Amino acid sequence: MATITVRTRADGTKSYRAAIRIKRKGKVVYRESRTFDRKALAKDWASRRELELQEHDALNKVMHRGVTVGELIKRYQKEFGGSFGRSKAKDMERLQSYKLADLDAIEATSRDFVDHVVYRLKTVQPQTAGNDLIWLRGVFKTARTAWGIPAALEPLNDAAETCRRERLIAKPNNRDRRPTLAELEALLEYGKTTEARRTTPHQEIILFALFSSRRQDEITRIKWTDLDERNKMVIVPDMKHPSHKTGNHRRVYLTDEAWAIIQRQPKTDERIFPYNSKSLSARFTEWCKFLGIKDLHFHDLRHECVSWLFELGWDIPRVAGVSGHTTWSSLQRYTHLSRQEKHDKYKNWPYRPGSG
């Protein structure tokens, strides 16, 4: 219950201080007080305030009042950032640079989030603006469930629904860029002219990505000890997954071409490709720019491999056994890329491992 304390001012008048203390398990978890000129006003305020604090989540809100969106993002990074991918890590840093980061995470309104999206649309596509809300939703859900901070998740969800309805945000476009044989040949030939100046066998890595569907991070993590010689399989540590960022070790099959590439690598390290994953993509981008190859990403090699396997007539379980996909929905977007008839794009390609 609230306590009313009477005090006499220097001029002889009285003041009434209403103080509220709330305990949980014997400990004071919240204090609040106000001073009035009349006792009746002090009692009335204390009674109303106690009732307000009994409402669902009200006490939690006042206890965490003042926590900003930026502070929640920083805490999220500190506690869970070790499992972030590169794009998510960069986006989390970027989110802290906007006005939105200075808002009270509990008192933020739907309009605040919509205003942020409108501001972002001045320089980015709806898909990118939508990603901001996705990342924020993850932060807010974690704040509510893991830290007991009642972040404004409902206003955020309302804002996201409004933005979708008004087409301010959109889902990312499914990328369908595939390299041509001429583009791949240009990359590999250019690699030959520069290999004397490099220690990283980029041509081999490009071919391995092309015929294994492995991502650049995965390529640099697989080890010799994880190879299954009998079944031509390999364990891929921490394979990318929508919810399981670490510990998602998956055993996948290797195509004959990918297996041949591994067999010709020197055993100088516990890893088969002991190189920096970031440099692989950066060098690939540099080569494409130099050669005038437009809009081709290292990750497109993974798309190419999966599409090629479907074109060979492989069924879904067999393709998934190579790519590591766990659901049909995640594989389905590759099927429209392949032709209806069986077709081996690399049948007589001289760069195909084991082709001669």
* pLDDT tens per residue, range 124-147: 999 999 999 999 999 999 998 999
User: Is residue 29 scored above 90 in pLDDT?
Assistant: no
CA neighbor of 156 nearest in space, from 130, 129, 133 = 133
> What is the reported pLDDT for 245?
53
Q: State which H helix or E strand residue 204 sits in.
A: helix 202-212
Q: State the pTM of this model.
A: 0.65
Domain architecture of the chain: domains with CATH = 3-56 (no CATH), 69-165 (1.10.150), 181-335 (1.10.443.10)
Say yes or no to pLDDT of 53 above 80.
no
Average pLDDT score over residue span 187-209: 88
Query: CA 170 to CA 173: how far, in whole Å?
Result: 8
Give 233's pLDDT tier (boundaries 50, 70, 90). Answer: very high
Write down the pLDDT at residue 58: 61
Beta bridge partners of 18: 4, 34
**SS3 track for 275-332:** CCHHHHHHHHHHHHHHHCCCCCCCCHHHHHHHHHHHHCCCCHHHHHHHHCCCCHHHHH
Per-residue confidence (pLDDT) for residue 33, from 0 to 100: 87
Across 291-308, average pLDDT: 93
Residue type, 253: Y
**Which tokens belong to 64?**
């965490």
Give the C-alpha separation, 291 to 280, whole Å.
Answer: 17
Alpha-carbon distance of 349 to 257, in angstroms, equals 12
* pLDDT in the model for residue 60: 66
Residue 298 has what pLDDT? 94
What percent of the chain is modeled with pLDDT above 70?
A: 91
Mean pLDDT (the chain, rounded) = 87
Instruction: Give the pLDDT band of residue 42 (cuts 50, 70, 90).
Output: confident
Specify the DSSP element, H or E, that contains 109: none
pLDDT at 31: 80
pLDDT of residue 341: 54
pLDDT value, residue 337: 55
* Structure confidence by residue, pLDDT tens digits, 149-177: 888 999 999 999 999 999 999 877 777 88
For residue 170, give Cα distances in angstroms to 124, 127, 132, 161, 334. 12, 5, 11, 11, 20
Whether 334 has a pLDDT exceeding 70, the answer reads: no
Q: First-to-last CA distance in the chain?
A: 87
| Angle CA 27–30–36, to nearest 5 | 130
Tokens 């305030």 sit on residue? 49
Identity at 81, one-letter amino acid code? G
- 67 has a pLDDT exceeding 70: yes
